[in-house]
Amino acid sequence: MDVPGWSCVSSEVRFSSGWFTVRRDRARRPDGSLTDYDHVLAPEAVTVLAVDEQGDVAVTRQWIYVHGETQWRLPAGRVEGAEGAAGAARRELREETGASATAWTSLGTINCADSLTNHRDHAFLATGLTLGEPEPEPGESDLEVHWVPFARLVDMVLDGRLPHAGSSFAVLTAKVKGLLE
């Protein structure tokens, strides 16, 4: 991976699993000096801001192992295989909430934890919902779905109760663009 002023001299996999890969690159900086740059390669992810006819948003509450606490977040998950971000968004919404949507709007993409990882999260607004039964994965047995008014969700972002980066990005983007009130 070469960018203006930076070049990769060598790259070594330090760890790899089905979830991510840790690499150590020997990189040349713009000033010519060398550095070791450790970073995580992770699959892209999606976050879905699903809004029903009353303006309520599907919000999940679940234990997040790496943070050691139960957190609020929008339906979200990783992009798998060749399904692409839009396909992953549809799948995650169905799995976590049981809902499907007739209208999808891209809200954009956020880079998560720059300088540590290449991880990117694609956010979508989903409307025209039809509710069904959730299809949680085995690790989601504690996942609860709540329907929260959008204005309350904005407050949750602003006071730190929605710490997931993709979720906060989706909510604030929809608010700033005037897509939801």
Which CATH number belongs to the domain containing residue 122 in this structure? 3.90.79.10
Indicate whether 2 belongs to any domain: no
Distance CA 97, CA 144 (A): 9
Domain of 16 in residue numbering reads as 7-41
Indicate whether 87 and 135 sit together in one domain. Answer: yes
**pLDDT (tens digit per residue) in 72-99:** 999 999 999 999 999 999 999 999 999 9
Residue 59 CA to residue 154 CA, distance in Å, equals: 12
The count of structural domains within the chain is 2
Same structural domain, 142 and 78 = yes
Whole-number pLDDT of residue 3: 57
User: What are the residue ranges of helices labelled H in the chain?
Assistant: 84-97, 150-158, 165-176
Residue 16 lies inside a defined structural domain of this protein: yes
pTM: 0.92
Domain membership flag for residue 181: no
Only one residue has tokens 């005037």, namely 178
Residue found under tokens 């969700």: 153
- Contact between 102 and 128 under an 8 Å Cβ cutoff? The reply is yes
Residue 61 in domain: yes
Instruction: Report the alpha-carbon distance of residue 6 to residue 29 in Å, rounded.
Output: 5
